[in-house]
Structure 1
């Protein structure tokens, strides 16, 4: 009686291809960078003295931890460091990127929570999102040209929310799984 070869041993090539290489690719993209896109100003003058700003919040070794850190910082209104105490900042979008600046996950900041955006499901959907975001950015450019800074900022914000769905293909499955967890809801 002889046993089939595959029933007792897994070829080393299969182990490398299915287990080792994916982990190495994943490790190369770490650590993850957390940043926040928002509106900054030096006083309470509203839209007149305000400007768009991106602040780097920190780094994390995993998407799960990055989501928790981002959510905690937003919930505690802890976006700015003490060195920039004179600056007022209103967070609008939290962004998690890998070391290659590929988008891992992004979400809208609203009422002290992060509403993580569902990643696109396909390249075709990504193309549609890029087309619509480009259209909105074009409208923002036109609004800026006619001196309507408030409309331009709102259009850029809407475009950013669409672009928040443009998760790097490497991370799409991970992001989708993270958003299925009860804690992300």
Structure 2
């Protein structure tokens, strides 16, 4: 009688390829940069007179630290465009990128909290998101050409909401795991 051996131990090559190498690749892309995309406007002016603005918030050594810093800054409401006290920012999106500009995770800002977005699950889903976002950016370009700046900004914002899911393939699993953690909610 022959006994079939079933091994529960993964081959070393599989462990290296699945766990060690991606960890080393992510480590080479540190520190992570945190930015806020929003609408800047001067106090007392209409929101339609505002303009899109990206504000650098800081750098962190890990996705967890970056998410925590971003959430604290948004909750405190202390994201400023510059030193001009009359210039205000309505923050809309938080973006965390690696040193190669790859998207690690992003979130929409609502009522002083960051709603972190679930990353795309596959390259096929990423292509669908890119197609839809491109359509929205085209609509924004058309609206801008007609002088409908508020409508154009809204189309660009909706496109950015979709693009927030376009997490770099290297970071997708990490981002999904972070969103499963109770503190990320």
Post-superposition offset of 1:85: 3.0
In structure 2, the partner of 1:28 is 28
Q: After the TM superposition, which of the residue ranges 47-56 and 148-157 deviates more from structure 2?
A: 47-56
Q: 1:158 to 1:17 in 2, by over 3 A?
A: closer
User: Is the contact made by 2:36 and 2:94 (CA closer than 8 Å) also made in structure 1?
Assistant: yes
In structure 2, the partner of 1:178 is 178
In structure 1, the partner of 2:167 is 167
Post-superposition offset of 1:18: 6.0
Q: After the TM superposition, which of the residue ranges 73-82 and 129-138 deviates more from structure 2?
A: 73-82
**Within 2, Cα distance between the matches of 1:61 and 1:78?**
22
**Within 1, Cα distance between the matches of 2:176 and 2:13?**
29
**Within 1, Cα distance between the matches of 2:180 and 2:11?**
34
Q: 1:163 to 1:42 in 2, by over 3 A?
A: same
User: Is the contact made by 2:94 and 2:108 (CA closer than 8 Å) also made in structure 1?
Assistant: yes
Post-superposition offset of 1:22: 3.2
- Asked if 1:151 is matched to 2:151, the reply is yes
Post-superposition offset of 1:176: 0.2
Post-superposition offset of 1:25: 1.2
In structure 1, the partner of 2:70 is 70
- Asked if 1:131 is matched to 2:142, the reply is no
CA RMSD of aligned residues (A): 2.1
* Secondary structure of residue in 1 paired with 2:90: strand
In structure 2, the partner of 1:4 is none
**Structure 1 runs not aligned, ≥5 long:** 1-6
1:109-128 matches, within 5 Å, as 109-128=109-128
Q: CA-to-partner distance for each residue in 1:100-151, whole Å, 9 max, x for gaps? A: 0000000100000001110000000000000000000000000001111111
In structure 2, the partner of 1:87 is 87
Q: After the TM superposition, which of the residue ranges 44-53 and 148-157 deviates more from structure 2?
A: 44-53
Aligned residues: 177
User: Is the contact made by 1:43 and 1:49 (CA closer than 8 Å) also made in structure 2?
Assistant: no
User: Is the contact made by 2:81 and 2:89 (CA closer than 8 Å) also made in structure 1?
Assistant: no
TM-score, with length taken from structure 2: 0.88
**Structure 2 runs not aligned, ≥5 long:** 1-6
Q: 1:13 to 1:178 in 2, by over 3 A?
A: closer
Q: 1:65 to 1:181 in 2, by over 3 A?
A: same
* Secondary structure of residue in 1 paired with 2:21: helix
